[in-house]
């Protein structure tokens, strides 16, 4: 009686989320025989499916801003980028713009304004009257600092008002993030890429100090000289399986998150006339959601408990007190908000790094690469992250030591050059980061 068959490939990618499928697409276009493996039964049905899928370009670092602006162009030109036939249903990018409130907590956006101006990213400086003209349901009283619902001063304004914000008109969101990963997988398949679902990796195979492939839970082996860990909230587990954590100064961990869905106030169509809003005064972000709903997430202030979990498969996926806290904090900004008794939204996991900036890097194990710590703020960058990872694989496999001579990567649309060492697993913790979902 024979055991499970052994498969072979040039590259194994662990994860069929939006970044895993984008990396597969880019490598397959270069002629690599890729196979994506995922324990889920459908492509894009891990943390990608729970993503808020916001496409923005405001970051606290210059490299993060440049990378995100590059990513925007692929979503704008999604059909052309994929090259699929007209019969494919494609994920839709809604370019509604993003307003970020100027607050003391974000330094009144001085860094963000400077980065956008340097990189020629369009911005508009709105005063309070312009904000209220566009969002008439908004109350611009200041409630900072954000508080939990049990605090005695919760819901009490502090006596000042928000004076304005910066609007990024090119920002938006993708209506179906899981479909975007499926689009990328279909585009990759046109170039020979394969996908194996219901395939859980239980071992990283090694030989002579280099990666050799993976073993799956059913006993099957896939052999390849290159393995890329893009397992989302499971990335820390995969890195431990590979034994590559000892030289990493940046770690990743799964973080439980809740997102609230509520109907827009009566008389205002938030789906048609709203926008993405990042509001550090109440430490929430929001975006339009189908059915004239508003999607509301936390910007991870200290008052919101960070619920790190040990396992990305065994965690409480029920709504908690945090759902109500987010809904009520948003009601400070939108007094006419109707908070329903039916709790609607998403409970899922982020794959968060120490400084909330991703790791796009090689590892101490030859042939083993990682695109980790990406959840919460990297969905938007998936297409350009796929290009960077494909370039990094070629760079390292051609014999250059990325640790000592970091790859300089040219962003195709804008022509800007970034030092890929910015995303190193061995970098110092980046003190310019927001240390939150904002990146």
Catalogue the E-assigned strands of 238-373.
252-263, 276-279, 284-289, 293-298, 307-308, 345-353, 359-362, 368-372
Is residue 338 assigned to a domain? yes
- pLDDT tens-digit profile of 228-275? 999 999 999 999 999 999 999 999 999 999 999 999 999 999 999 999
Of 353, 381, 405, the residue that ends a domain is 353
- Which band of pLDDT confidence, cut at 50, 70 and 90, is reported for residue 172? very high
* Tokens, residue 27: 């490598």
pLDDT of 1: 45
pLDDT of 439: 66
- pLDDT tens-digit profile of 123-135? 999 999 999 999 9
Is residue 52 assigned to a domain? yes
Query: In terms of domains, do 101 and 201 share one?
Result: no
Partnered with residue 161 across adjacent β-strands are: 141
Q: How far apart are CA 352 and CA 373, in angstroms?
A: 5
Q: Is the pLDDT of residue 420 over 70?
A: yes
Is residue 261 assigned to a domain? yes
Contacts of residue 219, Cβ cutoff 8 Å, sequence gap at least 6: 3, 4
Q: Is the pLDDT of residue 2 over 80?
A: no
Is residue 428 assigned to a domain? no
Of 295, 318, 353, the residue that ends a domain is 353
Query: In terms of domains, do 275 and 342 share one?
Result: yes
- pLDDT tens-digit profile of 275-313? 999 999 999 999 999 999 999 999 999 999 889 999 999
Q: What is the mean pLDDT of residues 386-390?
A: 98
Query: In terms of domains, do 113 and 160 share one?
Result: yes
Is residue 439 assigned to a domain? no
Query: In terms of domains, do 258 and 349 share one?
Result: yes
Q: What is the mean pLDDT of residues 336-353?
A: 92
Count up the domains in the chain and report the number.
Answer: 2
- Which band of pLDDT confidence, cut at 50, 70 and 90, is reported for residue 341? confident
Is residue 432 assigned to a domain? no
- Which band of pLDDT confidence, cut at 50, 70 and 90, is reported for residue 376? confident
CATH number at residue 310: 3.30.9.10
**β-pairing verdict for 210-216 and 221-223:** antiparallel
Cis peptide leading into residue 39 (ω within 30°): no
- pLDDT tens-digit profile of 44-64? 999 999 999 999 999 888 888
Query: In terms of domains, do 266 and 349 share one?
Result: yes
Of 329, 353, 377, the residue that ends a domain is 353
Q: Is the pLDDT of residue 5 over 90?
A: no
Give the predicted TM-score (pTM) of the model.
0.96
Query: In terms of domains, do 162 and 260 share one?
Result: yes
Which residue did the predictor score with more confidence, 293 or 342? 293
Is residue 431 assigned to a domain? no
Residue 417: give the domain boundaries. Answer: 6-87+176-251+355-423
pLDDT of 154: 93
């Amino acid at each position: 009686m024979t055991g499970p068959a052994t498969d072979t490939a040039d590259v194994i990618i662990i994860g069929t989320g939006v970044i895993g499928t984008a990396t597969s697409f880019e490598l397959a276009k270069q002629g690599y025989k890729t196979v994506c493996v995922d324990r889920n039964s459908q492509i894009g049905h891990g943390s990608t499916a729970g993503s808020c899928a916001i496409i923005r370009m405001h970051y606290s670092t210059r490299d993060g801003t440049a990378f995100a602006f590059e990513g925007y162009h692929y979503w704008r030109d999604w059909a052309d980028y994929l090259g699929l036939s007209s019969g494919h249903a494609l994920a839709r990018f809604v370019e509604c713009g993003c307003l970020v409130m100027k607050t003391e907590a974000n330094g009144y956006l001085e860094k963000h304004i400077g980065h956008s101006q340097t990189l020629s990213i369009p911005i508009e400086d709105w005063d309070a009257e312009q904000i209220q003209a566009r969002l008439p349901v908004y109350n611009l009283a200041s409630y900072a600092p954000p508080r939990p619902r049990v605090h005695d001063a919760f819901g009490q304004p502090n006596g000042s008002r928000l004076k304005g914000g910066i609007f990024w008109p090119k920002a938006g969101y993708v209506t179906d993030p899981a479909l975007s990963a499926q689009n990328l997988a279909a585009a990759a398949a046109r170039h020979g890429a394969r996908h194996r679902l219901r395939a859980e990796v239980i071992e990283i195979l090694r030989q002579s100090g280099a990666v050799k492939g993976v073993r799956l839970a059913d006993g099957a082996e896939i052999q390849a000289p290159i393995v890329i860990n893009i397992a989302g909230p499971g990335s820390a587990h995969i890195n431990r399986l590979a034994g590559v954590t000892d030289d990493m100064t940046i770690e990743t961990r799964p973080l439980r998150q809740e997102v609230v869905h509520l109907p827009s106030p009566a008389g205002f169509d938030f789906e048609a006339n709203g926008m993405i809003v990042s509001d550090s005064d109440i430490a929430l972000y929001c975006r339009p959601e189908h059915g004239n709903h508003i999607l509301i997430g936390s910007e991870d202030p200290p008052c919101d408990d960070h619920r790190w979990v040990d396992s990305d498969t065994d965690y409480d996926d029920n709504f908690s007190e945090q759902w109500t806290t987010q809904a009520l904090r948003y009601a400070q900004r939108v007094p006419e908000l109707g908070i329903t008794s039916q709790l609607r939204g998403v409970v899922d996991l982020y794959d968060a790094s120490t400084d909330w900036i991703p790791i796009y890097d090689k590892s101490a194990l030859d042939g083993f690469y990682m695109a980790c710590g990406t959840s919460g703020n990297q969905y938007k960058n998936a297409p350009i992250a796929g290009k960077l990872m494909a370039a990094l694989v070629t760079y390292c496999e051609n014999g250059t030591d990325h640790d000592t001579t970091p790859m300089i990567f040219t962003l195709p649309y804008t022509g800007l050059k970034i030092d890929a060492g910015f995303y190193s697993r061995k970098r110092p913790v980046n003190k310019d980061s927001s240390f939150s979902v904002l990146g």
